[in-house]
Structure 1
């Protein structure tokens, strides 16, 4: 828990602006995951919920400015937004608008033939597509992380 608190304390908007694409995506995923799993993690972390939400939204806004038409961006944020749109209400102001936006991001990534979007949007199960998706995940999220494991469990 101390590592997580240290993680939250070390990240601010200036730091997020200096992080590379995949670093930004990892930070977004971890803050989203912590927010989603909040009740199960620890009641001691409750005071950090607002901080985690701010980090997620700041990372999302920066990623949007830099990577709007990128397949990785469209897939990752499309997934995060469509699964839990309530965590993006400060950006979209309406649950249904956020959910729709997330699904549209996945649709655009699918139309780009982005492997992960095809898998997550259509539950596509052809072996070569799954293998390509696993490779994309390894590149984006680092094979030995919880983020990678989370998405691999969704694929399988």
Structure 2
């Protein structure tokens, strides 16, 4: 598990609490969404997801009742590079700006604030991320990928 200087980081978006507190994570709800509703992690093995979350910095949003409303995680070396991943907002909480707020919380985290290189991949939320300063890669021919197929 990665160590960060700042302990638990929390911020608010209206009635929502956004927190990096691993003790609050509803792993079952996170896995359920990613494995059954996301387009990028269909069928995700729970053990792999658990390891992925353990080795990244998670941000979860909770509604006023304390139930999970959204999630993202940051994969990072803690110094130069951060990859925003697994961003989602549960259907009943969409349209509240929560996706943007979770992403903003990650960008504003004290241990990540100096990152020079943030990346992400999205098929359908370009507008959310563009409003936070993300832009298409200027020269995609520089980037390569090795991806295992199921």
Same fold (TM over 0.5): no
Per residue, is there more strand in 1 or in 2? 2
Per residue, is there more helix in 1 or in 2? 1
Q: Structure 1 length normalisation: TM-score?
A: 0.28
